[in-house]
Amino acid sequence: MTTDERTPALLLDKVVKSYGAIRAVDGVSLTASAGEFIALLGPNGAGKTTLFQLLSGLFVPDSGRIEIMGHDMLRDPVPALAMLGIVFQQPTLDLELSVAGNLLFHAGLHGLPRAVANSRIEAELARLGLIDRAHDKAAQLSGGNRRRLELVRALLHGPRVLLMDEATVGLDPGSRSDLLKLILSLRAERSVAVLWATHLCDEVVDADRVVVLHHGRVLADATPAQLVASAGAATIEQAFLAMTGAQ
């Protein structure tokens, strides 16, 4: 077994982040292995966005430890962040740039040589069905295809951990389902650990594990079947409502 196989792709150990008297993240611990799809399920205000801001290095935790492929986010942030791919809840594309232009800009930020970048861009756009749109402005894409472009961008530098922060917000049901299926297939093909944040119970059915977050705390970390059984419920939605009182 190699070091990479032994090392969790993502590790959080008793992570805390407060804003005044409010603990937005309250002692969260979890691990994710290569190729594992973990759904972070919580109602609005549960702390999901704050947790993702900590994972992406936008904020620093008050205490606790975050590691990406064994790299401590505080002590060794550059290699840690290099292992991350992120699709944020809010769109972050430059709509006036072309599809390829958005990707080349990202590749430059990660120091990819132009020849390598062009090869990866062509391969990823083909994989996600956007190769014919490479020279179109991002503004010309549908909402679902903009999300696909953001996913291509997140994968371009070969991350080992993929963070999806409420990535289906604003998408129609078909696009939402397509994106989720695409992520499930990609994590299996590439052994990428995925942390998928959502408040929608139907998006966690095929997860390897479901981590229920409420008021900044982890209430459960289990398979979907275990989650339902432990709550004595008939469905994931019923179990989630029973645990959180969410509306």
Q: Tell me the pTM.
A: 0.92
Please report how the helices 114-127 and 99-109 are oriented relative to each other, as an axis angle in degrees rounded to 10: 130
Give per-residue pLDDT as tens, 29-47.
999 999 999 999 999 889 9
- Joined together, the tokens standing for residue 157 give 């530098």
Residue type, 53: Q
Whether 187 and 35 have beta carbons less than 8 Å apart is answered as yes
What CA–CA distance (Å, rounded) separates 219 from 93? 34
Domains of the chain (ranges; CATH) run 3-83+159-244 (3.40.50.300), 94-158 (no CATH)
Residues pairing with 137 in the sheet: 98
Give per-residue pLDDT as tens, 208-225.
999 999 999 999 999 999
pLDDT, mean of residues 148-157: 93
- Joined together, the tokens standing for residue 211 give 């981590």
pLDDT at 89: 85
Give per-residue pLDDT as tens, 97-146.
999 999 999 999 888 999 999 999 999 999 889 999 999 999 999 999 99
% the chain with pLDDT above 70: 97
pLDDT, mean of residues 67-71: 96
Residue 246 binned pLDDT confidence (cut-offs 50, 70, 90): low
Whether 112 and 156 have beta carbons less than 8 Å apart is answered as yes
Mean pLDDT score across all residues of the chain: 92
- Joined together, the tokens standing for residue 61 give 């935790």
List of residues 6+ apart from 113 with CB closer than 8 A: none
The beta strand positions in 145-207, using DSSP E, are 161-165, 193-198
Q: Which residues of 184-204 are buried (b: 16+ CB within 10 A; e: fewer)?
A: bebbeeeebbbbbbbbebebb
The residue written with tokens 């002692």 in the block is 27
pLDDT at 32: 96
* pLDDT exceeds 70 at position 172: yes
Largest Cα–Cα distance of the chain, in whole Å? 55
What CA–CA distance (Å, rounded) separates 103 from 118? 9
pLDDT at 126: 93
* pLDDT exceeds 60 at position 160: yes
